[in-house]
Homo-oligomer: A and B are copies of this chain.
Amino acid sequence: MIQNTYSISDLAREFDITTRALRFYEEKGLLRPEREGQKRLFSPADRVRLELILRGKRIGLTLEESRGIIDMYERGQDNAEQLNSLLGKIDERRQSLRAQLQDIQAMLSELDDVQARCQHALKNIEEEATA
């Protein structure tokens, strides 16, 4: 098995973040690179986690919330109670994401509105210029 790994600066470059951020994510338990001596070796699994973290950030999640989602992914499911609790959390998060979708669509339609008014105003200016 080929142990594909990434150095800290590999990931920093690829995702355009600082090495400081990566170390910070490790500190917070969001990434778990192995060590080769002192040096961190990030696994493909870490890479996936990082993608989730960054996507989370883009939609306004805190690191804690992203950690919650990551935990959903990785929890070793053997116990029915845990699984049901997890399904509950998934549902909550789904609700909240749907609410965000609504908010974003509302914003978009307001932008449509402002844009239309802008274009109308521009048209008026041009007509006055030709008058």
Task: Say whether A107 contacts B60, CB under 8 Å.
Answer: no
Of the listed stretches A15-23, A27-35, A38-46, A79-87, chain B binds: A79-87
Known: A83-B122, A90-B118. A104 touches B100 (CB 8 A): yes
Task: Say whether B58 contacts A103, CB under 8 Å.
Answer: yes
Interface residues of A in 88-131 (CB under 8 A from B): 90, 93-94, 97-101, 103-104, 106-108, 110-111, 114-115, 117-119, 121-122, 125-126
Task: Say whether A121 contacts B55, CB under 8 Å.
Answer: no
Extra contacts besides A72-B114, A73-B114, A78-B121 (6): CB < 8 Å? A52-B110, A59-B103, A60-B60, A72-B111, A83-B121, A86-B114
